[in-house]
Amino acid sequence: MDCECLPTCPFFNDKMATKPSLASLMKKQYCKGDFNSCARHQVFLALGKESVPKDLFPNQAEKAREIIHTKNSAQVPNYPASFPH
């Protein structure tokens, strides 16, 4: 099954600078295979299309986790220490 993001994904549509042979392997593995493990798809699902960095490669899962964690942490209000639990 193909990833739902294929029509607009900069990586899949060769809008990112990369080595063609490596990109071809990644497209087969992530875009037309296990797209749930794609770093771009993970950020897309968690934060929306606008939050996916243009330079994020499918195999950068650790970077995707950092982006998601940072964005989610920024959305959690900081309660004062005296806040009743």
pLDDT in tens, 23-50: 889 999 999 999 999 999 999 999 999 9
Angle, helices 61-74/39-47, rounded to nearest 10 degrees: 20
Give residues with Cβ within 8 angstroms of 35, minimum separation 6: 1, 2, 3, 4, 5, 41
Average pLDDT over residues 2-31: 87
pTM: 0.80
